Amino acid sequence: MSRITKRFEKLKADKRAGLVIYISAGDPDLASSYEILKGLPAAGADVIELGMPFTDPMADGPSVQAAGQRALKAGITVDATFDMVRRFRRETGDGDTPILLMGYYNLVYQRGAERFCKAAAAAGVDGFILVDLPPEEADELKPHATAHGLDTVLLTAPTTDDKRLPAVLKYASGFVYFVSVLGITGTKSATEDAVRSHVARLKRHTKLPIAVGFGIRTPEQAAAVARHADAAVVGSAIVDRVKAGLDPSGKPKPGLTAGVLADVTALAAGVRGTVKA
């Protein structure tokens, strides 16, 4: 059983939804990014999405694009991202918190799927969310991911109809990521009624947990999602908090990490205050 499956089983036993937090590896620099990563579990993150910055982020909104640009300028690479995860596992002793790499398939393709999966697993990664890998192309990655014990989390959207869903779910493992709004990250939010309806429809098709993301910025919005889904995903609000902790030259101000983690704690309180029936 993967770390991701174990975590969602525990959340189910605890009768609550989870909090998935996205940060961009290397944002605003490698040292600060690692300190944030290291503090996320204690702050209340149940699952961590570690973004792999890419030069052409087609699905990212302005906030996540800016975070990726800051990280690339600071020198982040795929190998440095692996090193962050490896260091996290070694220094914290945390063998329970799932860490997924989120990004674009080009970074996998350049290295080769088998080699990439082997390196990711060796570093302590638990799976991938690759926003531009459709199910029709997932055979390039899925066998290698499975061979190395890595989950492949696929995305669905409001436009993913009942005819399309089986093709997506065929390759999904760990959980299903429901993109609650159309468009890029961090620009608008879905209503609670819409989330309720879409999650109910997805659950008719799969027993995998459903995580809902895009547009969740406040503890109240996270709590509303947690009333219906198995997890709430927050990304843009966190990278915006990183940006707010920078001085005009782009260097971290004192208290940046503490400020980010305080926001995560507030979001976790929102999610954990919702007891699922």
pLDDT 10s digits, 135-178: 889 999 999 999 999 999 999 998 898 899 998 999 999 999 99
pTM of the predicted structure, to 2 decimals: 0.94
Strand pairing of 176-179 and 155-156? parallel
Q: Work out the average pLDDT over 193-214.
A: 92
| C-beta separation of 191 from 158 below 8 A | no
240 is catalytic: no
The angle subtended at Cα 262 by Cα 215 and Cα 26, nearest 5°, is: 70
Q: State the pLDDT at residue 192.
A: 82
49 is catalytic: yes
Beta bridge partners of 212: 178, 232
Q: State the pLDDT at residue 30.
A: 97
Instruction: Give 138's DSSP letter.
Output: G
Residues 6+ apart with CB under 8 A from 230: 8, 11, 12, 17, 18, 175, 209, 210, 211
Q: State the pLDDT at residue 59.
A: 73
The angle subtended at Cα 201 by Cα 198 and Cα 203, nearest 5°, is: 110
In angstroms, the CA 49 to CA 51 distance is 6
Cβ burial 35-49 (10 Å sphere, 16+ → b, else e): ebbbbbbebbbbbbb
Residues 6+ apart with CB under 8 A from 146: 173
Which two three-digit tokens encode residue 102? 């989120």
CATH number for the domain whose boundaries are 3-270:
3.20.20.70
Backbone angles phi, psi at 20, to 5 degrees: -105, 125
Q: What is the pLDDT of residues 64-99, one digit of tens each?
A: 999 999 999 999 999 999 999 999 999 999 999 999
| C-beta separation of 175 from 8 below 8 A | yes
- Strand-by-strand arrangement of the 155-156 sheet: 151-152, 127-130, 99-103, 47-51, 18-24, 231-234, 210-213, 176-179, 155-156
Catalytic residue among 49, 126, 240, 263: 49
**pLDDT tier for residue 61 given thresholds of 50, 70 and 90:** confident
Instruction: Give 45's DSSP letter.
Output: -
How crowded is residue 188: how many other Cβ atoms within 10 Å of its Cβ?
12
Q: What percent of the chain has pLDDT over 90?
A: 83
- The structure tokens 């220094």 sit at 91
Catalytic residue among 27, 29, 46, 60: 60
